[in-house]
Amino acid sequence: MAGSQFGKAFRISTYGESHGPGIGVVIDGCPAGLDLDLDLIEKDLQRRRPGQSKIVTQRKEDESFEILSGIFEGKTTGTPISIFIRNKDQRSKDYSHIAQKYRPSHADFTYDSKYGIRDYKGGGRSSARETAARVASGAVAKMLCNHYGIKITAYVSSVGSIKAPEIENPDAEVIESNIVRCADPSAAEEMIQLITKIRKAGDTIGGIVCCVVQGMPVGLGEPVFDKLHADLAKAMMSINAVKGFEYGSGFKAAEMKGSEHNDQFYTDSDGLVKTDTNHSGGIQGGISNGMDINMKIAFKPVATIVKDQNSVDKEGKATTVTGKGRHDPCVVPRAVPIVEAMAALVMADHILRNRQSKL
């Protein structure tokens, strides 16, 4: 299956299925000499982990990881870094009901039609279990970003119709202080109540994750096909269940006049060129302009619901599918570290690529 690699200079290849022996990632291109903090990898994997709170799936996936290569005495050596996460607590029999049937709006029909063979246990390769490999490699990318002064913070800004204000300077401590990972604790309470209600009804609900990248240098992003926002869009749209991506003014730009939308330049007291508004979302002509990058990523209500739904089996005969197994009523609390990881992978890649841009 092609399409398991991401990035050009800082490149990852992920592998593994939900109910196979394990999943993992090989990072190629990470420079030598980076201090690798294993606790940061562990911390981000725990933030993505199922079973972390009452509002996420109660699957108990083991997130303990092994680094198989690329590290010596706590530092990267410049050789491929391989990270392996063994699968445990798989209940493969939970999925026998979908061996011959297609779950509506999941990946069953398309995988079967394309390949003629499908690992249906836990969704196989289409399972969000794969995102643990992104989060592990994203944590390494975050360390490289930190080295260059770039900080990435994501938070939940909406669940269903409950919306929290978007924050310019999100506080990671506040975000992690509530189980929904919202930057506004009072909206978080309402979101938790809604997710609990949805879960009891056997249904699922969508939501939005916002992500802010601070400390950006000017100059990341490559014209013309590898524009920074194009790579960010691909990174975010490749996350399971993502339906929408916006950066800067996003779809609101279509309603605005140039006189409202233009970000006017000025030079600040440190002599840095800034803009007085940030409708460009920190990117102009596909290249970072030094302002913060702000993005919004929309997640759908995931497919597994505990209700009878019309479907077809492998022979195309009409059948009924009812969600069993353990699943997420709303994925956005667990998606926060995944969004941060994908943003970090894009930034790490472009930091390294930018070093070749001029003499």
Ligand X SMILES: Cc1cc2nc3c(=O)[nH]c(=O)nc-3n(C[C@H](O)[C@H](O)[C@H](O)COP(=O)(O)O)c2cc1C
> Among the residues of the chain, which ranges form H helices?
38-48, 108-115, 131-147, 172-176, 185-200, 228-237, 258-261, 332-354
What residue is closest to ligand X based on CB? 327
Q: Is 302 in the site for ligand X (CB under 6 A)?
A: yes
Report the side by side order of strands in the sheet with 81-86.
5-6, 11-16, 22-28, 81-86, 65-69
State which residue, 61 or 263, has the beta carbon closest to ligand X: 61
Per-residue interface string for the shown chain with ligand X, residues 181-220, x marking contact by CB under 6 A: ----------------------------------------
Per-residue interface string for the shown chain with ligand X, residues 106-125, x marking contact by CB under 6 A: xx------------------
> Do 44 and 341 contact (CB within 8 A), yes or no?
yes
Residue with tokens 């079973």: 51
Which of 304, 293, 358 shows the shortest CA–CA distance to 330? 304
Q: Taking CB under 6 A as the criterion, which residues in 230-269 touch ligand X?
A: 239-241
> Do 152 and 344 contact (CB within 8 A), yes or no?
yes
Q: Is 57 in the site for ligand X (CB under 6 A)?
A: yes
User: Helix, strand or coil for residue 76?
Assistant: strand
Give kind and range of the element (H or E) at residue 75.
Answer: strand 75-76
**DSSP states of 245-283:** EEETTGGGGGG--HHHH---EEE-TTS-EEESS-TTTTE
> Do 13 and 29 contact (CB within 8 A), yes or no?
no
Q: Is 180 in the site for ligand X (CB under 6 A)?
A: no
Which range, of 12-20, 94-102, 172-180, 324-332, touches ligand X by CB under 6 A?
324-332
State which residue, 70 or 323, has the beta carbon closest to ligand X: 323
Q: Is 157 in the site for ligand X (CB under 6 A)?
A: no
Distance CA 93, CA 96 (A): 5
Per-residue interface string for the shown chain with ligand X, residues 74-113, x marking contact by CB under 6 A: --------------------------------xx------
Q: Is 23 in the site for ligand X (CB under 6 A)?
A: no
State which residue, 87 or 304, has the beta carbon closest to ligand X: 304
State which residue, 220 or 339, has the beta carbon closest to ligand X: 339
Which of 135, 175, 138, 139 shows the shortest CA–CA distance to 155? 175
- Least Cβ distance, residue 324 to ligand X (angstroms): 11
Q: Taking CB under 6 A as the criterion, which residues in 330-359 touch ligand X?
A: 331, 334-335, 338
Residues that bind ligand X (CB under 6 A): 57, 106-107, 126-128, 131, 239-241, 302-304, 327-328, 331, 334-335, 338
